[in-house]
């Protein structure tokens, strides 16, 4: 698979997705703690950062077991929302 990196921003953070690392665990979108409004594999693009709060997104991204999802704070973003 080609080494592709995609990014999606909600203004506060930018979500990075590396498809070649994804293990398809479904933890980002499925189940009680999944964020289907943000991570929806049935839509294109499959990541919609406006679907949840920055804090909720960070929590999901930090639980990605493969490291395919990561994030960084955009310049001037309020980092208190990550708690």
Residue 28: domain span = 6-82
The reply to whether 1 falls in a domain is: no
C-alpha 7/C-alpha 71 separation (Å) is 9
C-alpha 35/C-alpha 14 separation (Å) is 16
Output the CA–CA distances (angstroms, integers) from residue 74 to 45, 53, 70, in the order listed. 21, 15, 13
Name the 3-class secondary structure at 69.
strand
Output the CA–CA distances (angstroms, integers) from residue 49 to 33, 39, 75, in the order listed. 16, 8, 17
The count of domains in the chain is: 1
Q: What is the pLDDT of residues 36-80, one digit of tens each?
A: 999 999 999 999 999 999 999 999 999 999 999 999 999 876 776
Q: Would you say the pTM of this structure is higher than 0.85?
A: yes
The reply to whether 23 falls in a domain is: yes
């Amino acid at each position: 698979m080609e080494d592709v990196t995609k990014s999606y921003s909600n203004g506060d953070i930018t979500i990075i997705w590396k498809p070649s690392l994804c293990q398809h665990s479904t933890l980002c979108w499925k189940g009680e703690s999944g964020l289907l409004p943000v991570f929806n594999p049935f839509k294109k693009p499959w990541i919609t950062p406006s679907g949840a709060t920055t804090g909720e997104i960070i929590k999901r991204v930090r639980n990605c077991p493969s490291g395919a999802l990561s994030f960084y704070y955009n310049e001037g973003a309020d980092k208190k929302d990550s708690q």
